[in-house]
Structure 1
């Protein structure tokens, strides 16, 4: 762990980290359960959303010059309508919710506490900026999905230990799976934690 380097940025400062974020998203999300077939050009355009809000945060882990992990977050009020709407439908105040984006880490670096560090960093940032709820979503895949690895385990236990509760509301988003020729809609279920 001593050889790892951490870099954090907020708002406009995230722009310099966007290429690394895009590279990591493509590598990590290629695997189950996301099965995402992405491109660097699409990623760099999509990730600009983080540079547009001063309270957005990106936190990256480097091994030398290679990015090996990253996590992001932003006020839910700055997120897309499809992510905001389920919270609005629950009567929640989206101005009080900080939304976690990516939490991605290359296989070789898992099991070292970096996943907990990602949550610590984002939660601290959210609380310091007055947010009362933190939230994120995870993709829902059928148990018998043909590309599901035999040894696959969800992160549900980890998230529950962090104090998050799986909700009964979700959103739908489309992307290109690596075994598809056109984008299809996927369900993403929300997890939330209330801070007293």
Structure 2
């Protein structure tokens, strides 16, 4: 049996389509209206990261703009509840579809290293949910807002770093598989 053959391609394609649909819902239903309302992007979209001063600036902006606060909360209680889970599943299935991690790099990997590769999508998922929870706490009135303000930039960095590593590995593995000789 060939590696990854147990997962139908249509399942991966369906998950990809669902991810794109939810991403479009997030973007056009919340991110664009938020930017139109405030003139500033939501912190979740800062790919290069941000620091605590950006979080403090966002807190002040949300304190002064009730519409922006409602948009942000609706985003976190709407599409952001399901998007991280969908993308985590898509990344994990993509890794499974590409085959066993031990054969990915043309040599035998230590079993712990091979297993760690499969954990990357879950690191992304936990970091994305952690970022969402930290945002809700940081932009709320609770006593933990200060702690969440310090924690939020790190969760965003971890989210994008793990996502970038996943995409790089998937692209590399897909190209390597495409270039490798076929076994009939």
| Common fold: TM-score over 0.5 | no
Find the structure with the greater CA-based Rg.
Answer: 2
TM-score by length of 1: 0.25
Give 1 or 2: higher helix fraction: 2
In terms of fraction of residues, the more strand-rich structure is: 1
